[in-house]
Amino acid sequence: MDLRKENILIVDDDIDILELLQRHLQSMDYHTYKAVSVKEALFILKDTFIDLLITDIQMPEIDGLQLLKFANEHYPEIPKLVVTGYPSVEGTLEVIKSGATDYLTKPFTKLELKEAVEKALKQNTSRKKLVPKAVNQKPNIYADMVGESEAFKKVTNIIERVKDNKATVIVTGESGTGKELVARAIHYSGKFSREPFIAVNCAAIPENLQEAELFGYIKGAFTGANENRNGFFQAAKGGTLFLDEIGTASLAVQTKLLRALQEKEITRVGSQKIEKVDIRIIAATNANLREEIRNNTFREDLYYRLTVVEINVPPLRERKSDIALLTEKFLRKYGIEFKDRLLRISPEALQILQRYNWPGNIRELENVIQRAVIMADGSIEVKDLPDFLKYQIDFSDNELRPLRDIEKEYVQRVLNHTDGNKTKAAEILQIDRKTLREKLK
């Protein structure tokens, strides 16, 4: 008898139920795979094309709900049918929320199973309702930044107060939170926007060149100085000098920065001539400068000169209500860049983005959206997101389990490998068929 193309994975720790379901489904011309645990089911899902997942809920160690949540995000195209002997209203709601397309209560008849399987296989899981826009309200856009959260509004309120004066500002926050965007917003939103904005990454300049790059030098000041040259301070005249990763500046440079802030004057390397400077300094750091002061790697007096106004940019995990707006911004940017059109994102995919804690902050979110736009065929779906964002099942490597459970799981894997052929399975296990039958009981 020729089997249909549909492959059905059955997951249950009860061998008798597994055998019963397999007999019923094979009599309906389906091809079946069996797993006695969630861990074994994941092995099969990874290596086999599955058309339908049928799972029990109550199982030892890892239950079927976790399998449903995992499969719903890693294999969203596979319909899921739950078979359980413990029905309840709360349980049914939890199962449906976890991604099941239908719910079958034990005991059930062969006809009920047939109807449930056919219904599940007909589910068009690719049909998604798209979010027409990330949010149903006009986004709060400030310079190149977007957000509606209170944390975002707190940052923009401070920007409003400092944008039209040249008070020294320090911007703090984790890597990837958008500290340079804040600095640019201060400059380009204020009355000095027509003047230069010079951004300098202090960590990218070798320590022995920091002083010359920042303050300039005169001809003959050191080997290779063949002419007079302006530094970043001179280039930013009348405008804003943004010093990113200020904590990496050498102590010698910190001393000259302190004088520049106190006296509004600098001296080129190799020169005795003092030059007046009229610029605004915005510094940024993801380091704990107070800790560096205690370690004598950062000058305390410079710290207080820099922190006339401090803006702390919150991590993305503390402004999750802004994720939808940021996602829409990046979809517009990369959709046009890579696909020449605007893209949308499904509610399920957006929900996964909003659930994740984003240790790399906005920069990490932007990278994920950029990748998703490249991978997507149309709208952004769950399948277009990287696996690390999706639901994970934590299997303990140090878990000590009864030998009987491990043996049962391995015997079932061998049976799956032989497509249920007990003679071949017994040969692989190096036991006779009678012993195998006893183990299956």
Check residue 401 and give its pLDDT: 64
Q: Which residue has the tokens 């007079």?
A: 228
For the CA atoms of the chain, what is the radius of gyration? 31
Q: What is the CATH number of domain 1-124?
A: 3.40.50.2300
What is the distance between the alpha carbons of residues 60 and 45, in angstroms, rounded to a whole number?
20
Determine phi and psi for 243, rounding to 5 degrees.
-105, 95
pLDDT tens digit at each of 441 positions of the chain:
444 578 999 998 888 888 889 999 989 989 889 888 888 888 888 878 889 999 988 887 788 888 888 888 888 889 999 887 766 545 666 777 777 877 788 788 899 999 989 888 887 444 444 444 444 445 578 888 999 999 999 999 999 999 999 999 999 999 999 999 999 999 999 999 999 999 999 999 999 899 999 999 998 888 888 888 999 999 999 999 999 999 999 999 999 999 999 999 999 999 889 999 999 999 999 999 999 999 999 999 999 999 999 999 999 999 999 999 999 999 999 998 898 888 899 998 999 999 999 999 999 999 999 999 999 988 899 999 998 898 888 666 555 667 777 777 778 777 777 777 888 888 888 888 888 877 776
> Is the CATH number of domain 150-316 1.10.10.10?
no
Q: Which residue has the tokens 């389990």?
A: 401
What is the distance between the alpha carbons of residues 343 and 328, in angstroms, rounded to a whole number?
9
DSSP 201-265: EGGGS-GGGHHHHHH-B-TTSSTT--S-B--HHHHTTTSEEEEETGGGS-HHHHHHHHHHHHHSE
Residues ≥6 apart with Cβ < 8 Å to 418: 424, 425, 428
What is the distance between the alpha carbons of residues 157 and 139, in angstroms, rounded to a whole number?
16
* Residues, the chain: 441
Tell me whether the CATH fold assigned to 1-124 matches the one assigned to 150-316: yes
Reduce the DSSP state of residue 343 to 3 states and report it.
Answer: coil
Which DSSP symbol is given to 2? P
* Domain ranges across the chain: 1-124, 150-316
Check residue 340 and give its pLDDT: 84
Report if pTM > 0.75: no
What is the distance between the alpha carbons of residues 176 and 156, in angstroms, rounded to a whole number?
18
CB 134 within 8 A of CB 345: yes
DSSP 260-318: HHHHSEEE-BT---EEE---EEEEEESS-HHHHHHTTSS-HHHHHHHTTEEEEPPPGGG
Bridge partners, residue 103, by sequence: 82
Determine phi and psi for 172, rounding to 5 degrees.
-115, 160
Check residue 92 and give its pLDDT: 62
Check residue 247 and give its pLDDT: 95
Check residue 267 and give its pLDDT: 92
Torsion of the alpha carbons at 309, 312, 313 and 315, rounded to the nearest 10: 180
